[in-house]
Amino acid sequence: MTQRPEDSLENPHKEPAEQASPISNEGIPAPDGASSLIDTDYVIGQDNITGKYSLHLDIHGKVFGISALSILLFVVLTLALQDQAKPIFEGMRHWLTSNLSWFFLLAGNIFVLLCVFLIFSPYGKVRLGGAKAKPDYSYMGWFSMLFAAGMGVGLMFYGVSEPISHFDAAMGGITMGDHGVRTDWAPLGGAAGNAKTAESLAMAATIFHWGLHPWAIYAIVGLALALFSFNKGLPLTMRSIFYPVLGERIWGWPGHIIDILAVFATLFGLATSLGIGATQAAAGMGYLFGTPDDSATKVFLIIGITGIALTSIMLGVDKGVKRLSQINMVLAFLLLLFVIIVGPTLLILTGFFKNLGAYIVELPALSNPFGRADANFSQGWTAFYWAWWISWSPFVGMFIARISRGRTVREFLTAVLLVPSLVSVLWMTTFGDIAIHQVVANGFQGVKDAALPLQLFTMLGQLPLTAITSFLGIVLVIVFFVTSSDSGSLVIDSITSGGKVNAPKPQRVFWGITEGVVAIALLVGGGLTGLQAMAVSTGLPFTIVLLVGCYSIIQGLRSEPRSA
Partner 1 sequence: MYNKIMVPVDLAHIDALGKSLQVAADLAQHFNAELCYVSVTTDIPGPVARTPDEYEQKLNQFAKEHGLAHGRPVSAHVFLSHDPAVDLNEILGKAITETGADLVVMGTHLPRHLDAIMPAHGGQLAAHTNASVFLVRP
Cα–Cα dist 261/255, whole Å: 10
Which member of 93, 127, 166, 405 binds partner 1 (CB under 8 A)? 405
Min. distance of Cβ 65 from partner 1 in angstroms? 20
On whether the CB atoms of residues 306 and 125 are closer than 8 A, the answer is no
Residue 314 beta carbon to partner 1: minimum distance, rounded to whole angstroms: 7
Q: Assess contact for 412 and 128: CB atoms under 8 A.
A: yes
> Is there binding between residue 45 and partner 1 (CB under 8 A)?
yes
**Distance, CA of 102 to CA of 375 (rounded, Å):** 11
- Give which of 152, 150, 115, 207 is closest to 411, Cα–Cα: 115
Q: Is 506 in the site for partner 1 (CB under 8 A)?
A: yes
Stretch that binds partner 1, among 144-152, 202-210, 314-322, 468-476 (CB under 8 A): 314-322
Closest CA to 486 of 338, 270, 287: 270
Site stretch for partner 1 (CB under 8 A), options 103-111, 159-167, 311-319, 458-466: 311-319
User: Binder to partner 1 among 14, 20, 41, 43 (CB under 8 A)?
Assistant: 43
Q: Which of 12, 16, 29, 252 binds partner 1 (CB under 8 A)?
A: 29
- For residue 408, which of 236, 235, 230, 563 has the smallest C-alpha distance? 563
Stretch that binds partner 1, among 50-58, 153-161, 194-202, 277-285 (CB under 8 A): 50-58
Cross-strand partners of 127? 408
| DSSP string for residues in 315-355 | HHIIIIIHHHHHHHHHHHHHHHHHHHHHS-HHHHHHHHHHH
| 504 part of the interface to partner 1, by CB under 8 A | yes
Neighbouring residues of 295: CB distance < 8 A, sequence distance ≥ 6:
523, 524
Site for partner 1 in 365-404 (CB under 8 A): 402
Amino acid at 386: W
Residue closer to partner 1 by CB (options 292, 506) is 506
Is 250 a binding residue for partner 1 by CB under 8 A? The answer is no
For partner 1 (CB under 8 A), the number of binding residues is 42
By CB under 8 A, residue 10 contacts partner 1:
no
Least distance (Å) between residue 364 CB and partner 1: 39
For residue 193, count other CB atoms closer than 10 A to its CB: 11
- The smaller minimum CB distance to partner 1, of residues 209 and 402, is found at 402
Instruction: Determine which residue in the list 108, 124, 235, 453 makes contact with partner 1, applying CB under 8 A.
Output: 235
| Residues 395, 387: Cα–Cα separation, whole Å | 14
351 binds partner 1, rule: CB under 8 A:
no
d(CA 193, CA 170): 8
Q: Report the residue number, 503 or 518, with the smaller CB distance to partner 1.
A: 503
Under rule CB under 8 A, residue 499 binds partner 1:
yes
Name the site residues for partner 1 (rule: CB under 8 A). 1, 23, 28-32, 37, 43-46, 52, 54-55, 129-130, 136, 229-230, 233-236, 314-320, 402, 405, 499-506, 508
